[in-house]
């Protein structure tokens, strides 16, 4: 890329440093500049100063990328922390259900919702997903409360301590 754009940059630089008044100008325009460089210096004239430019490019680009990445990480930290906090709260709410089917349903739904939301790159879509997740968390918390208020017959699977809810497992 440098080899194709650098000659144009040389012509631009020579025109920019050319005098302002008509009598002090060396070049009549860009085509005149190209002709004079070719006549006076040859093809090498279009690449004069490319070595320092290339040597400076790597550290300059590296500094730019580092600065950009640091800024993005700093900007995303607050949102990422809130995202993880909401995910943990949703998983906690899913574990509150006494009934195995409800508990597993909400757990899977939460996991799938956040897995999908974690791949979103658009800030507006991510914010919309967070708003929906907050609303669903409130519904889950209300449903969990209702689920605990009314006793249910437990299935054979739920009698097994491995599948019992956390509140029944540690109540003994």
Which backbone phi and psi does 87 adopt, to 5 degrees?
-65, -45
Tell which wins on pLDDT, 171 or 88: 88
Q: Is the pLDDT of residue 28 over 90?
A: no
| pLDDT score, position 76 | 59
Q: Is the pLDDT of residue 52 over 60?
A: yes
Q: What is the DSSP letter of 153?
A: P
Average predicted confidence (pLDDT) for the chain:
79
In 10 A of CB 33, how many CB atoms?
19
* φ/ψ bin of 64: left (φ > 0), alpha (ψ from -120 to 50), beta (otherwise): alpha
* CA of residue 7 relative to chain centroid, distance: 36
Q: What is the pLDDT of residues 59-113, one digit of tens each?
A: 888 888 788 777 766 655 556 677 778 888 888 888 887 777 778 888 888 888 8
Tell which wins on pLDDT, 93 or 158: 93
| pLDDT score, position 132 | 87
Scanning the chain, the segments in alpha helix (DSSP H) are 2-17, 30-41, 50-95, 100-117, 123-149, 156-159, 166-169
158/101 Cα distance (integer angstroms): 9
Are 167 and 96 a contacting pair, CB within 8 Å?
yes
Q: Is the pLDDT of residue 32 over 80?
A: yes
Which residues, including other chains, have CB under 8 Å from residue 97's CB and lie 6 or more apart?
Answer: 103, 106, 143, 144, 147, 148, 165
Q: What is the pLDDT of residues 124-142, one digit of tens each?
A: 887 888 888 889 889 888 8
């Amino acid at each position: 890329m440098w080899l194709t754009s650098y000659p144009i940059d040389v012509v631009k630089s020579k025109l920019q440093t050319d005098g302002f008044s008509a009598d002090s100008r060396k070049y009549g325009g860009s085509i005149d500049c190209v002709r004079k460089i070719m006549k006076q210096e040859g093809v090498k004239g279009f690449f004069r100063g490319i070595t320092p430019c290339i040597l400076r490019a790597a550290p300059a680009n590296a500094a730019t990328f580092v600065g950009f990445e640091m800024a993005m990480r700093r900007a995303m930290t607050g949102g990422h922390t809130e995202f993880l906090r909401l995910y943990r709260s949703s998983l906690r709410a899913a574990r509150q259900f006494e009934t195995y089917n409800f508990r597993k349903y909400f757990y899977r739904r939460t996991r799938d919702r956040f897995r999908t939301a974690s791949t979103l790159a658009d800030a507006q879509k991510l914010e919309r997903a967070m708003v929906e997740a907050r609303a669903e968390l409130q519904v889950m918390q209300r449903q969990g409360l209702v689920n605990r208020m009314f006793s249910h017959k437990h299935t054979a699977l739920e009698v097994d301590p491995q599948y019992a809810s956390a509140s029944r497992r540690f109540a003994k």
